[in-house]
Amino acid sequence: IRTRGFTAGPGFRQYNFGGGPHQRFQARRQQQQQQQATGAFQFLQLLPILALLFISIFSGLFREAEPTFAWKYQPSHPIGKHTVTNGVTFFVDAKLDSKIREDGKYARKLGQQVDGEWLNYLRHECGNEEQRRQIRINNAQGFFSVDKKKLNEARNMKMPKCDEFKTFHRKIYGR
């Protein structure tokens, strides 16, 4: 039987939409190898991050806890202390008190830490006072009119933590 225009010659086998079973198996195997290589590559990229995470967790297990102190008397921190350089009052527990008395270098380091944290505390409280003053100023300046009495009161509001912060900052840094 003879067909016109369409014969099953060598071109037909070459372009039969996807190849035979051997070609499909080879493509699938190649795709699996690429996926496995990609997974291994991703693991190698994560390895430094995992190592850093492991080291930080592991080193934290053997580090001594930071000294704890309080700004006010508490039953857990009953012993009052003052920093040598600036006279900041703080309270510690008995264990930390004995360590302070035994090790002068440690006491100086702790004193510097307390002074620094006190300065940060005063800075934070001063920011709160400035925010409260700004709210009062905004409230005094209404949409249609200004209450001059309230505005003057807000502008002249006492801010003791800001005053203390400025004084303490000058004491430490000399400016």
66 DSSP assignment: P
> Radius of gyration of the chain from Cα atoms?
37
pLDDT for 67 equals 61
Q: Catalogue the E-assigned strands of the chain.
A: 79-82, 89-92
- For 119-164, how does the pLDDT look when each residue is reduced to its tens digit (9 = 90+)? 999 999 999 999 999 999 999 998 888 989 999 999 999 999 999 9
Confidence (pTM): 0.58
pLDDT for 46 equals 74
Treating both helix axes as pointing N-terminal to C-terminal, what angle do 104-140 and 94-102 enclose, rounded to 10 degrees? 120
In angstroms, the first-to-last Cα distance of the chain is 109
- For 83-96, how does the pLDDT look when each residue is reduced to its tens digit (9 = 90+)? 998 999 999 999 99
Q: Report CA torsion sign: 75, 77, 81, 83.
A: negative
- Strand 89-92 vs strand 79-82: parallel, antiparallel, or unpaired? antiparallel
Q: Which residues have C-beta within 8 Å of that of residue 101, sequence separation ≥ 6?
A: 107
- Distance between CA 2 and CA 109 in Å, rounded? 103
- Distance between CA 81 and CA 98 in Å, rounded? 12
Q: Catalogue the E-assigned strands of 57-120.
A: 79-82, 89-92
pLDDT for 44 equals 73
